[in-house]
Amino acid sequence: MASEIIVNAGREETRVALLENGLVTEIYIDRRKDRGVAGNIYKGRVMKVLPGMQAAFVDVGLDKSAFLYVGDVFDSASEYAPMMEDEGLELEVETKRKRSHATQIEDLLQEGQDVVVQVSKEPISTKGARCTTYVSIPGRYLVVMPGVNHIGVSRRIEHGEERKRLREIVQSLRKPNMGYIIRTASEGRSEDELRSDIEFLGKLWENIQRKRERVAAPALLHNELDLVFRVFRDAFTSDVDRMVIDSADEYQRTREYVESYTTSLARRVKHYDGDDPIFEHYGVEIEISRALGRKVWLKSGGYIIIDQTEALTTIDVNTGRYVGKRSLEDTILKTNLEAVREIGYQLRLRNIGGIVILDFIDMEREDNRRKVYNALQETLAHDRAKTTISHISPLGLIEMTRKRIRESLGRTLCDTCPYCDGRGYIKSCRTVCYEVFRELQKSFAGSEEKKALVSVHPAVADMLYDEERSGVEEIEKEFGKKIVIKADPNLHQEQFEVVMV
């Protein structure tokens, strides 16, 4: 599978697109004024311990306190089992801790205590960052885990002899009180290359420890690499044909950085100097625009509707213009199968995480439901983010989760609509007219004033003068009072003001 990494390095923001066979599959954005904090290591201070939630809030110097769950608090008595997950530009390490049910958050942390934590998930929407005391620092070939007695190997290294060779090398080179995860990029690498990574990561951790002793909480101890270097470290493997960068300065900086690891990969870093902007040349801009739309058309004429809310994302499948050639059941099956491929693509492209509800078109035959479910499993197998899916229900629904580490593409690039406040709709002019009528009746009752001044949005004013004029006249006749309507373009369509004069 041909793979490319396209880098648009601007002054204000850097954008990276991952292409597979010419198709944009993932997009990452790093803004200088709004840089992410995932992977950063802080010296924080415990602000509040919540026994009822088995969690604590830690001040690390961000706008909101970070959230620390009991399972993410290092406890030497707990079991430690690392899992390997390839997650694109994120860390490859996910840890599972098993501790005694008797171990409570209040036994591990106290308010006012200083603690070294690493951000594991970016602040998302109204939630603060999630952090962990299980620090892991990724290098090119290895991830070091201070204080952990374990050596793991990426599950993507499949050959048994290679796994054994790498494990033995790292075991012979390991530093005291250090654990390591052998990354996918280490496959085929020499002992000297692995030693270099171990030495570099060891010195980095020593520097972090020295800084921790010098500074007062809250303080940043280690800043994660910028986006372009993270791309090289986490995604630029031997499977990638080339990495194309449009900025001459960024190209030179990246090439030098890559050459410090391997000359063979450095030759795949290319400078783009075409006349068209690089994202337009490779068709990325149009895919970004498409990824912000609510409706996505399928080639057959069907379509899917994607709605994101605070709690979950729903994806609805519809046949649209597709009428099929055989039976209704066959038409529905083909639409659902085509939708499965598009859904898998859109989840990656938009970086949709959390709970996702898929509403497929109802299928009568059980074997057709099984085909759609199996197709979804196969599609999600190519996703680097961890996913779990439930079986399809009789109503055609599938519940699934996709690991979320940072904001989705839509939330990164867009703000909530200030006019509709994120609802996606506003009250109609007719509805507002009737609200005005009720307010007038309430204001006129028992009032001695002879006139009411009604300020409304121009569109509402037009309807009051035209289609709803009879309603205004009836209220005037009923109460024997005068109504003056004033169009105010500064008002929201749903806003109005009634003043008795």
pLDDT value for 88: 41
Residues 6+ apart with CB under 8 A from 73: 56, 105, 108, 109, 132, 133
- Mean pLDDT to the nearest integer, 236-241: 83
CA-based nearest residue to 204, from 150, 253, 256, 145: 145
- Give the domain ranges of the chain: 3-33+228-285, 36-225, 293-413, 429-500
Of all residues in the chain, what percent carry a pLDDT higher than 70?
A: 93
Q: Give the helix ranges, DSSP H, for 95-177.
A: 105-108, 160-173
User: How far is it, in rounded angstroms, from Cα 401 to Cα 87?
Assistant: 15
Element (H, E) at 121: strand 114-121
pLDDT value for 374: 94
pLDDT value for 148: 87
Which has the minimum average pLDDT: 43-47, 137-141, 261-265, 385-389? 261-265
CA-based nearest residue to 82, from 158, 138, 159: 138
User: How far is it, in rounded angstroms, from Cα 41 to Cα 137?
Assistant: 9
| C-alpha 44: how far from chain center | 25
pLDDT value for 122: 87
Q: Kindly indicate the confidence band of residue 90, based on its pLDDT and cuts at 50, 70 and 90.
A: very low
Q: Kindly indicate the confidence band of residue 324, based on its pLDDT and cuts at 50, 70 and 90.
A: low
- Mean pLDDT to the nearest integer, 376-400: 89
Which has the minimum average pLDDT: 52-61, 115-124, 365-374, 415-424? 415-424
User: How far is it, in rounded angstroms, from Cα 23 to Cα 126?
Assistant: 33
- Mean pLDDT to the nearest integer, 272-281: 94
**Reading across the β-sheet that carries 242-245, which strands appear in turn?**
23-31, 13-20, 3-9, 242-245, 269-271
- Mean pLDDT to the nearest integer, 205-211: 94
pLDDT at 260 over 90: no
- Mean pLDDT to the nearest integer, 422-444: 93
Between CA 268 and CA 275, with CA 270 as vertex, the angle to 5 degrees is 155
Q: Do 58 and 44 contact (CB within 8 A), yes or no? A: yes
Q: Kindly indicate the confidence band of residue 157, based on its pLDDT and cuts at 50, 70 and 90.
A: confident
**Reading across the β-sheet that carries 482-487, which strands appear in turn?**
482-487, 451-456, 496-500
Q: In 116-151, which positions are buried (b, 16+ CB within 10 angstroms) versus exposed (e)? A: bbbbbbbbbeeebbbbbbbbbbbbbbbbbbbebeeb
Q: Do 125 and 310 contact (CB within 8 A), yes or no? A: yes
Residue with structure tokens 């809030």? Answer: 57
For the chain, the average pLDDT equals: 88
Per DSSP, what are the bridge partners of residue 151?
180
User: What CATH homologous superfamily does 429-500 map to?
Assistant: Ribonuclease E, catalytic domain (3.40.1260.20)
Burial label for 16, CB within 10 Å (0-12, 13-18, 19+), is: buried
Q: Do 236 and 5 contact (CB within 8 A), yes or no? A: yes
- Mean pLDDT to the nearest integer, 408-413: 87
3-33+228-285 and 429-500 share one CATH topology?
no
Q: Kindly indicate the confidence band of residue 101, based on its pLDDT and cuts at 50, 70 and 90.
A: low
Q: Kindly indicate the confidence band of residue 81, based on its pLDDT and cuts at 50, 70 and 90.
A: very low
Residues 6+ apart with CB under 8 A from 416: 422
**What CATH number was assigned to the domain covering residues 36-225?**
2.40.50.140
pLDDT value for 257: 85
Per DSSP, what are the bridge partners of residue 271?
245
- Mean pLDDT to the nearest integer, 232-255: 89
pLDDT value for 494: 95
Q: Kindly indicate the confidence band of residue 102, based on its pLDDT and cuts at 50, 70 and 90.
A: low
CB neighbours of residue 17 within 10 Å:
25
**What CATH number was assigned to the domain covering residues 3-33+228-285?**
3.30.420.60
pLDDT value for 99: 53
- Mean pLDDT to the nearest integer, 112-123: 93
Q: Give the helix ranges, DSSP H, for 415-457.
A: 429-444
φ and ψ of 235, to 5 deg = -125, -15
Number of continuous H segments (helices) and E segments (strands) in the chain: 14, 26
Which has the minimum average pLDDT: 161-165, 200-204, 388-392, 407-411? 407-411
User: How far is it, in rounded angstroms, from Cα 144 to Cα 93?
Assistant: 10
Q: Do 278 and 8 contact (CB within 8 A), yes or no? A: yes
- pTM exceeding the 0.85 threshold for the entire prediction: no
- Mean pLDDT to the nearest integer, 85-111: 62
pLDDT at 261 over 80: no
User: How far is it, in rounded angstroms, from Cα 109 to Cα 46?
Assistant: 8
CA-based nearest residue to 341, from 287, 384, 386, 299: 299
pLDDT value for 464: 96
pLDDT value for 322: 65
- Mean pLDDT to the nearest integer, 340-358: 94
Note the pLDDT tens digit of each residue in 221-235.
999 888 998 888 888
The pair of structure tokens assigned to 297 is: 């058309």
Q: Kindly indicate the confidence band of residue 151, based on its pLDDT and cuts at 50, 70 and 90.
A: very high
- Mean pLDDT to the nearest integer, 458-484: 94
Q: Which of 323-327, 391-395, 463-467 has the highest mean pLDDT?
A: 463-467
